[in-house]
Structure 1
Amino acid sequence: MGGQAMPVCETLLLRREGAVLHVQLNRPEVRNAMSLQMVDELRQTLQAAESDGQLRVIVLRGSGGHFCAGGDIRDMAAARMKLADAAPGQDPVAEVNARFGELCVAYAGTPLAVVTVLEGTVMGGGFGLACVADVALADPGASFRLPETSLGVVPAQIAPFLVERLGYSQARRLAVTGGRLDATAALGMGLVHGVHAADAMPGALQAVLTDILACAPGAIAATKALMARARFTPPADLVQDAAAVFSRAALGPEGQEGTGAFLQKRKPSWAVS
């Protein structure tokens, strides 16, 4: 595949197209429910992509007409079975839940651009992955559900990302109603950024990828990191740090290449034709 060797995966299909890595959740028999093995393979794939040096975008989608039906209940059942034999202070159920949370944190914090293509079932943990994507595109038939409270459990690891993406009020509403959304409603509240029919989706995805690949990868990474800080920091407290970030970018190779290309009326070196 070039660059960093990608991990061998049993629950994912990986396909590389230049600077873009397409990652397909591949457990269609269970609507791509996320097993612990899939969680681990998604993290390993992200780590390899970040180390690659050439990859700039990860596209996440599902096989068989569905994105992801949430966590695999068999893993949670197995964790409950271990409770009786757990050492004092050990909580196998919490450990399983935390592993998914670490996955969401990793994808939310990656310097790479993350795009999701959402079809069919987008539930629970799949809903969470949709929330951490930089750009989310949905099929008109996509069905978004947050069923945890209706099952007597808590959307524990995705709650922070729901609040970040949708705002406190909408996140609370969905949580207390076992939320259901269609693609139009998801677009209206900003969960997704575009809704496209199946025949139009390839073109819409390509347009997003073209826009991303026209931007400097280092500048994207620095901007994502600064925006993550800005969520919790008053603007006045960021002025000097933001100025330093800008200076490093402007004086660095990307800044010099970008401004030079603008003045010379040409594409910068990172732009993909």
Structure 2
Amino acid sequence: MPDTSLTDAVIVRRASGVLFATLNIPATRNALAPEVVAALAGAVEQAEADSEVRALVLRGAGGIFSAGGNVGNFKARLDADTSQEDPVATRNRQFGYFMQRLTMLPVPVIAAVDGAAMGGGMGLACAADIVLATRDARFALSETTLGIIAAQIAPFVVQRVGATTTRRLGLTGERVSGNAAVAIGLVDQLAADSAELDSLLAEWLTRIGRCGPNANRVFKTLVGRCGQEPAGSLLDEASHLFAQCMRREGAEGVAAFREKRDANWTVRFDVGAVRAAQAVV
């Protein structure tokens, strides 16, 4: 598998322009410890800087997506010196900065969830553009059961499932899985098991592979601005973005459509390629 980098916390591999970031800390059930978040931020930075990257896939090894925050580190933060800056607040906000950066990434982000996605793990999934999950994957905003709150992920959960559902999940610690997760808009498509999840992931990556890489980057960025800026000025700029895309990839895309062939950027994924990219040695 080309372009492979391995850290203790996260395995990042690249295949056909897609970055696969696999959390691999079985002892903590893939908890989002600082070194894990730093490794994930590195994958995001790589996708930002390289125009050849077409998508980012987030997954957890060992049959679990992520147990959320690393509870084992909480006491050390409480015992730290708070005379100048609160270390608990500082560390919490650092995760929020990462979440903001992840959602601003201009390439499609897919979360492939197998097993538990609790607290911050659920937030990580909510930051993705596409969420695929096995039927027995479990999601929960479990922070309140520990007497704390889902502080940095709340905006992203609300954006994904809405404020009413977020309140219900956060105020009760309710766990959702399977069809219920689809019904609330948390999951886009279910797989029967991990093997079928690989097949679904290959299908969705192939769909992304049919789209112009630059067009996807421009479109995702444009959608992120909708509702944040006056519609008129945004549409004025969008017309120029459309023209730029037409001159950059559009000519090839239209030609391919007329000639009934694949565009020159087309990439297809099979199950074998997806499994190899996520393999934990």
Establish whether residue 39 from structure 1 lines up as the match of residue 37 from structure 2. Answer: yes
Query: In structure 2, what is the Cα distance between the partners aligned to 1:181 and 1:8?
Result: 32
Partner in structure 1 of residue 15 of structure 2: 17
Moved more, 59-68 or 46-55: 46-55
Relative to the length of structure 2, the TM-score reads: 0.89
Residues 107 and 220 in structure 2, CA contact (< 8 A), matched pair in contact too:
no
TM-score normalised according to structure 1 size: 0.91
Is 1:48 equivalent to 2:31 in the alignment? no
Q: Secondary structure at the match of 2:19?
A: strand
Structure 1: give runs of 5+ residues left out of the alignment.
none
Tell me the residue number matched to 2:167. 172
For 1:218, the aligned partner's letter is: N
Structure 1 residue 8: deviation in Å?
Answer: 4.8
Look up the equivalent residue of 2:245 and give its one-letter code.
A
* Secondary structure class of the residue paired with 2:136: coil
Structure 2 unaligned residues grouped into runs of 5+ = 269-281
Percent identity between matched residues is 39
**8 Å Cα contact 1:139-1:183 kept in structure 2:** yes
The residue that corresponds to 2:198 in the other structure is 202
Q: CA–CA distance in 1 between the matches of 2:66 and 2:187?
A: 15
Relative contact order: is structure 1 or structure 2 higher (C-alpha 8 Å, sep ≥ 6)?
2
Match of 1:54, SS state, is coil
**Residue in structure 2 matched with residue 161 of structure 1 by the alignment:** 156
CA distance in 1, matches of 2:46, 2:251: 29
Contact 1:100 1:157 survives alignment (8 Å)? yes
- What amino acid does structure 2 have at the position aligned with 1:114? V
- Indicate how the Cα distance of structure 1 residues 205 and 7 shifts in structure 2: closer, same or farther if over 3 A, else same: closer
Partner of 2:237: 241
Q: Deviations over 1:148-191 (max 9, x none)?
A: 12222111111100111111211122122223211211111111
- Once the two structures are superposed, residues 193-241 of structure 1 have per-residue CA deviations (whole angstroms, 9 ceiling, x without a partner) of 0000123222211110000011011111111111111143464553222
Paired residues for 1:31-180 under 5 Å:
31-82=29-80, 85-88=81-84, 90-180=85-175
Structure 1 residue 146: Cα displacement: 0.6
Q: Secondary structure at the match of 1:13?
A: strand
Q: 1:182 aligns with which of 177, 182, 185?
A: 177
The answer to whether the 8 A contact 2:4-2:13 is kept is no
User: How many Å separate the matches in 1 of 2:37 and 2:122?
Assistant: 15
Over the residues paired in the alignment, what is the CA RMSD in angstroms? 1.8
CA spacing shift, 1:244–1:76, aligned 2, 3 Å: farther
Match of 1:222 in 2: 218
- Whether the 8 Å CA contact 1:7–1:41 is kept in 2: the answer is no
Letter in 2 for 1:173: R
In 2, the alpha carbon distance for the partners of 1:188 and 1:215 equals: 28
2 CA distance for matches of 1:134 and 1:209? 12
Amino acid at match of 2:161: L
Matched AA of 1:239? L
Distance in structure 2 (CA, Å) of the matches to 1:233 and 1:162: 22
Distance 1:49 1:7, change over 3 A: farther
The number of residues matched between the two structures is 267
